[in-house]
Amino acid sequence: MASVAVTSARANATDSSVFAHGVASGDPLPSAVILWTRVTVAEDATPGSGAGAPTSVRWEIATDDTFAHIAASGAVTATIDTDHTVKIDATGLTPGSDYYYRFTALGQTSPVGRTRTAPAADTDLARLRLGVVSCANWEAGWFGAYRHLAARTDLDAIVHLGDYIYEYPRGGYTGRNGAVRPHDPVNETITLTDYRIRHAQYKTDPDLAALHQTLPFICTWDDHESADNSWRDGANNHTPGVEGDWQNRRAASAKAYLEWMPVRETRADGAVQIYRRLRFGTLAELSMLDLRSYRDEDAHAFAPRSVIDDPNRTLTGAAQMSWLTAGLTSSPTQWKLIGNSVIVAPLVFPPLEPATTEALGAVLGIPQGGFALNGDQWDGYTADRRKLFATIADHKISDVVFLTGDIHSSWAADLPLDAANYPGGPTVGAEFVVPSVTSSSVGDALKVPARTASVARNRDYRRQSPHALRRTRFARLRRLGGDARTSADGLVLRAGCHRQGHGRAARHLLRAA
């Protein structure tokens, strides 16, 4: 891969100043991986500035860290069109292999990154270990979780489930004791320049940079990459007429994200698509969802049946739902993982069994399963969830695990077809929800001692939703002879035997320690 490039001069360039935002890799395939960096081509060519001449950037990927054995290389041109970021889809690689990569520009060389390709589709993989993270608010604290993940030597990749950045103005959304460090820019991110500056700031965090340099990321966005509780035509944190047109803001946030993240996007009819599927041998397939671009406006808490159960309301959009269900029904792997930015497990009050409460519910306007406590989750889009769960149950799809972020606390749950009939009724899978990197929990927001508000909420949720275990430090799922585990160590999947035709989930086998 090569291109003709124009090189600009830079006085007094240093390694750290040319490649001040580090290197990253992502979306590993058996024969390809995304490589990323950003080049600071001049003193005034800061992120979002629109300044700086086109600059040639050389890239190399090798099987050894001395680069004696180059697997692929080329040159590209970094320009203001992409904020001088560089994103390469390095191809022709060997499945299931470690690689090292670097960039060269303006006479300087970037830090050396390490990445790994996915195993071949027919590889009988015995184990997969993923680090799973979400919700990293710069102002709320230091990114220690990233540091601990970077220090590990047994992870295959990092799955980031959204809220990689936050859009709020300086001091607008902080931690338990205020802002630990200030956001840039000072204002809320609205324009393309704003989003570029904010992404660039996050990339300077040393712990995040070290993790990017060490492992490939598999990412999706949630709402704060654009604005709080965003949906197809607006956001809770967007005021039309004051903050401009929503579609312009949404396009700006998406462009900056795709420039600054090692994500392999596709384009159809001019639109960007980031929902995608990655496979790890015969062991696991990971479907990464986009639950912001196509959804209808979220429902408020305790919204009536006419809203919650409206069959025309969607979270995923029709095309993505068809893609997801088709992938689940045709997957040849044992584990079907779903990268999911908001909770899918029912968390409703009270949980109602439709067969016996339908008449009363219809008269009172109560949703079929009960009132949604958080309409931004799948609870606010029950038609989509029923369609998805029914597909899993009807096709007897086994070993389905949702990996979720967003809620700033740890959960593990079975996924019942009917929450009111749990544990007597059928279940379709399990969900593991990871805590935030830094974003505030309920206890942080209330500024109460640890294990006070969380204990009370845990008790209340368990009473109303017995399929859910909240505030778990460790949860183990053993099902159909396989083994999956999630904890601070990440998600671990191991191979196991299938029982054909078994469509149940992990009820009674989900244990908190």
Is residue 74 located within the same domain as residue 127?
Answer: no
Q: What is the pLDDT of residue 270?
A: 75
Q: What is the pLDDT of residue 481?
A: 29
Q: What is the pLDDT of residue 348?
A: 85
Binned at pLDDT 50, 70 and 90, residue 512 comes out as very low
Q: What is the pLDDT of residue 123?
A: 97
Per-residue pLDDT, averaged over 109-120, amounts to 98
Last residue of a domain, one of 100, 117, 134: 117
CA atoms within 13 A on the CB side of 390: 7
Is residue 247 located within the same domain as residue 363?
Answer: yes
Is residue 66 located within the same domain as residue 196?
Answer: no
Per-residue pLDDT, averaged over 193-198, amounts to 98
Q: What is the pLDDT of residue 465?
A: 66
Query: Does the pLDDT at position 454 exceed 70?
Result: no
Is residue 71 located within the same domain as residue 3?
Answer: yes
Domain count, the chain: 2
Is residue 449 located within the same domain as residue 379?
Answer: yes
Q: What is the pLDDT of residue 461?
A: 60
Binned at pLDDT 50, 70 and 90, residue 425 comes out as confident
Is residue 112 located within the same domain as residue 124?
Answer: no
Residue 327 phi, psi (nearest 5): -65, -40
Per-residue pLDDT, averaged over 256-260, amounts to 98
Query: Does the pLDDT at position 246 exceed 80?
Result: yes
Is residue 291 located within the same domain as residue 440?
Answer: yes
Binned at pLDDT 50, 70 and 90, residue 509 comes out as very low
Is residue 70 located within the same domain as residue 217?
Answer: no
What distance in Å separates the CA atoms of residue 120 and residue 96, rounded to the nearest whole number? Answer: 7
Is residue 220 located within the same domain as residue 81?
Answer: no
Average pLDDT, the chain: 87
Q: What is the pLDDT of residue 458?
A: 59
Q: Which has the minimum average pLDDT: 2-11, 409-418, 436-445?
A: 2-11
Is residue 42 located within the same domain as residue 159?
Answer: no
Per-residue pLDDT, averaged over 215-219, amounts to 98
Binned at pLDDT 50, 70 and 90, residue 61 comes out as very high
Query: Does the pLDDT at position 48 exceed 50?
Result: yes
Token look-up 């439709």 returns 354
Question: Residue 77's domain spans which residues?
Answer: 1-117
Last residue of a domain, one of 96, 117, 138: 117
Assign residue 71 the CATH number of its domain: 2.60.40.380
CA atoms within 13 A on the CB side of 374: 13
- The 8 Å CB, 24+ separation contacts for 327-330 are 327/277, 327/285, 327/287, 328/287, 328/391, 328/392, 328/395, 328/397, 328/400, 329/391, 329/395, 329/397
Q: Which residues contact 410 (CB under 8 A, 6 or more apart)?
A: 433, 434, 435, 470, 471, 472, 473
Query: Does the pLDDT at position 12 exceed 50?
Result: no
Q: What is the pTM of this model?
A: 0.89
Last residue of a domain, one of 117, 137, 162: 117
**pLDDT tens digits, one per residue of 461-486:** 666 666 765 443 333 333 322 344 44
Binned at pLDDT 50, 70 and 90, residue 10 comes out as very low
Is residue 58 located within the same domain as residue 125?
Answer: no
Query: Does the pLDDT at position 391 exceed 50?
Result: yes
What distance in Å separates the CA atoms of residue 15 and residue 103, rounded to the nearest whole number? Answer: 11
Contact 39, 57 (CB under 8 A): yes
Assign residue 216 the CATH number of its domain: 3.60.21.70
Is residue 320 located within the same domain as residue 172?
Answer: yes
